[in-house]
Chains A and B, each alone.
Chain A
Amino acid sequence: MKGDKVTLRDLLRIKEFGAIVGVTIFLVLFSLLSNKFLTTENVFNTLTMAAELGIISIGVAMLIISGEFDLSVGSVFAVAPMIFATMINAKYDPYLSLIVSLMVCAGIGLVNGTVTLKTGIPSFITTLGMMMFWRGILLAITGGFPIILSRRVDMLQYLGGKVHGGLRYSAIWFVVLAFVFWIVLEKTRFGNWVFATGGNLGAARALGIATTRVKLVNFIFSSVLAGFAGLTTFARFKLVDPTFGQELELEAIASAVMGGTLLTGGYGSVVGACVGAFMISMVRNGLVLAGAPAYWYRAFIGVILIVAAVINARIRKRVAG
């Protein structure tokens, strides 16, 4: 039985613990380096910047926990707004355009999942192929030129428009989606099956869990969330070019890992991935405010990723074996 005293072990059992400590450290560090860092305005800014990556990393984390990868999210991130913008420019209804672009994303997720699960090839390969395929299609169709929104669409305000100062709707979506998927992963049957499917596929199957369906649903979540993130970003720029979202797939994996998700599946957290995305956004923003050249940011993230992975692995060994 557990006593009332909170032990270190109880703290470490919080899967996001490492990431939260990391964010706290950077928060203190950057506040010391720049007095503009810890202002409401800047926190809103950081959250908004984190939102686009964060929404993707929610789906990516869910999928990794169930034991699969999705490298196509960066391309899907561009496909959704590309379809949306093209349809709007062709005078289609904005809501219809939104639904169609998200349905296409769901379709891409379904294909990713079906090909992977039916043929047994690693999802790493399937989604790498899909990433190249869609990026190629985007380049071929646009000829490399951006598509610019040709008319005003009020709906976009609610996807990525300003709420107050630097705070945009994308940040609100980010928080809402993080909450929803936190519930799904931690508090529902489906979430329990996600952990089991990634943790021990054979055992999950032997216990009668429909592991194929669990994975398939996560492939679809991953694609739809990536497409939605692309739309919120598009709502901010009103423009989409065919290189939109390149390398975001790797940043999304980095966010998930920083947030305590195990790359081999079976362990991880949606909230952690969001904290990871927030950390990346914070470091980018903090370095700029501290006056460091913007180029340093990537190098910095690389180091943080490795350190975070090592620390998370240690913690996990201790509390989860």
Chain B
Amino acid sequence: MNQPLVEMKNIKKSFGRVMALKGVDFSVGHAEVVGLLGDNGAGKSTLIKVLVGYHQPDDGEIYFEGKRVKFGSPREAREHGIETVYQDLALVNLMPLWRNFFLGREIVRRLGPVRYLDRKTMRRIAREALAEIGISVRSVDDTVAFLSGGERQAVAIARAIHFGAKLLILDEPTAALSVGETRRVLEHILEAKKRGISVVFISHNIYHVYEVADRLVILEHGEKIGDYKREEVTPQHVMDLIAAAAGVK
């Protein structure tokens, strides 16, 4: 079985007169970390939003685990095991960690006709799942507001792993993080890979991507301008490629 986990073929998407994606091929292998690079407006997020069903493509086909799929909403994609962690849209700051961890997938118990939250179990599982990927929090009753940016990313990643994601899409996970925190987030990505999860890592920062990615895909102006195995390129080469495409000499 050598087919990739995700295969997107000739994806086109326009918004009004703007062609955001001009026929892009994109694939992600099993347990592969793919870095998705490109300047602002290159089409990175549009491509991902098409993949998870937020946008419907105008043209092109998407295969997931070898089957043709058309996700009507991110929720559907999620049910298939595609988990996206957006920068500001992953967690609710004012809510305790355990509530965030189970948001939308709460564990309930029945008492006659009433279904009530099983707080005890959710607290325990959240604590264990976080500890398992090496995040120690003071208390799962603390709100997310008290976590650092890196810890928030880590919680979101732990959540995705816990709920059996097959593909984890991280949108700029290292933006605005300190060096130490970036390191830890990168370790979590490798941890996810070790568990057989594929990762798409969207970033501006080639150095962060280069450290963990198996393959690098570069988009520019809605087109794929590069698709390299990590060994084939240097960060400098990739940077030159992006700069050249953007018209910077």
Contacts and interface: CB of A to CB of B under 8 A. Distances in A.
Given A202-B89, A266-B92, A266-B94, A196 B103 contact: yes
A188 B93 contact: no
B104 interface: yes
A321 B104 CA distance: 23
Interface in B31-85: 73-75, 78, 84
Contacts of A187: 116-117
A13 interface: yes
Interface centre among A1, A189, A203, A204 (most CB of B within 10 A): A203
Contact of A195 (B75, B94, B146): B94
B120 interface: no
A3 to B, nearest CB: 11
B104 to A, nearest CB: 4
B95 A196 contact: yes
B207 interface: no
Contacts of B74: 206, 208
Nearest to A187: B116
A207 B143 CA distance: 18
B88 interface: yes
Contacts of B144: 321
A195 B117 CA distance: 14
Nearest to A262: B94
Interface string A141-152: 000000000000
Given A192-B106, A195-B99, A266-B94, A206 B116 contact: no
Interface in A182-209: 183, 187-189, 191-193, 195-196, 199-200, 202-209
B117 A192 contact: yes
A2 interface: yes
A260 to B, nearest CB: 12
B234 interface: no
Interface centre among B99, B104, B143 (most CB of A within 10 A): B104
Contact of A188 (B73, B89, B90, B117): B117
B121 interface: no
A204 to B, nearest CB: 7
A320 interface: yes
A321 B74 CA distance: 29
A207 B116 contact: no
A202 B116 CA distance: 25
Contact of B115 (A188, A193, A203, A204): A188
B3 interface: no
B115 A207 contact: no
A191 B94 CA distance: 14
Contacts of B103: 192, 196, 203-204, 207, 209
Interface string B97-131: 00100111010100000111100000000000000
B240 interface: no
A195 B73 CA distance: 22
Contacts of B89: 200, 202-203, 205-206
B86 interface: yes
A188 B116 contact: yes
B109 to A, nearest CB: 10
B145 A320 contact: yes
Nearest to B91: A203
Contacts of A139: none
A99 interface: no
B246 to A, nearest CB: 29
Given A192-B106, A200-B89, A267 B94 contact: yes
A206 B73 CA distance: 10
A290 to B, nearest CB: 38
12 contacts: A189-B108, A189-B117, A191-B117, A192-B103, A195-B95, A195-B99, A200-B91, A202-B86, A203-B91, A208-B73, A319-B143, A320-B143
5 tightest CB-CB pairs across the interface, nearest first? A321-B145, A208-B75, A199-B92, A207-B104, A202-B89
